[in-house]
Structure 1
Amino acid sequence: MNWTAVKSIYVFEMARFFRTLAQSFLSPVLSTCLYFVVFGAAIGSRIQEVDGVSYGAFIVPGLIMLSVITQAISNASFGIYFPKFIGTIYELLSAPVNFLEIVAGYVGAAATKALFIGVIILITAFFFVDVSIAHPIAMIAFLLLTCLSFALLGFIIGIWAGNFEQLQLVPLLIVTPLVFLGGSFYSISMLPPVWQIISLFNPVVYLISGFRWSFFGTADVPILFSLCAIAGFTALCILVIWWIFKTGWRIRQ
Structure 2
Amino acid sequence: MNWRGIVAIYRFEMSRFFRTIYQSIVSPVLSTVLYFVVFGAAIGGRIETVEGVPYGAFIVPGLVMLSLLQQSITNAAFGIYFPKFTGTSFELFTAPLSFFEVTLGFVGAAATKSLFVAVLIIATSFVFVDLTIAHPFWAVLFLLLTALSFSLLGFILGIWARTFEQLNIVPMLVITPLVFLGGAFYSASMLPGPWQVVVKFNPVLYLISGFRWSFFQVADVPVGLSLGAIAVFLALCLAVISRIFRTGWRLKS
Identify the residue that residue 118 of structure 1 maps to in structure 2.
118
Matched to 1:252, the amino acid is K
* Displacement of 1:170: 1.5
Q: Report matched runs for 1:18-167 at 5 Å.
A: 18-167=18-167
Q: Distance in 1 between matches of 2:90 and 2:23?
A: 31
Scaled by the length of structure 1, what TM-score is found? 0.99
- The 3-state SS of whatever aligns with 1:37 is helix
Scaled by the length of structure 2, what TM-score is found? 0.99
Unmatched 5+ stretches in structure 2: none
* Displacement of 1:32: 1.2
Unmatched 5+ stretches in structure 1: none
Aligned residues: 253
Q: Does 2:204 correspond to 1:204?
A: yes
Identify the residue that residue 216 of structure 2 maps to in structure 1.
216
Any idea what the Cα deviations from partners look like across 1:61-113, whole Å, max 9, x if unmatched? 00000000000000000000010111100001111111111000000000000
Q: Distance in 2 between matches of 1:243 and 1:23?
A: 33
Q: Distance in 1 between matches of 2:100 and 2:8?
A: 14
Identify the residue that residue 244 of structure 1 maps to in structure 2.
244
Query: What percent identity do the matched residue pairs reach?
Result: 66
Q: Distance in 1 between matches of 2:140 and 2:169?
A: 30
* Displacement of 1:33: 1.1
Q: Which runs of 4+ in 1 moved over 4 A?
A: none
Q: Distance in 1 between matches of 2:239 and 2:34?
A: 38
Q: Distance in 1 between matches of 2:54 and 2:36?
A: 13
* Displacement of 1:252: 1.1
* Displacement of 1:24: 2.2
Q: Distance in 2 between matches of 1:246 and 1:59?
A: 42
Matched to 1:218, the amino acid is V
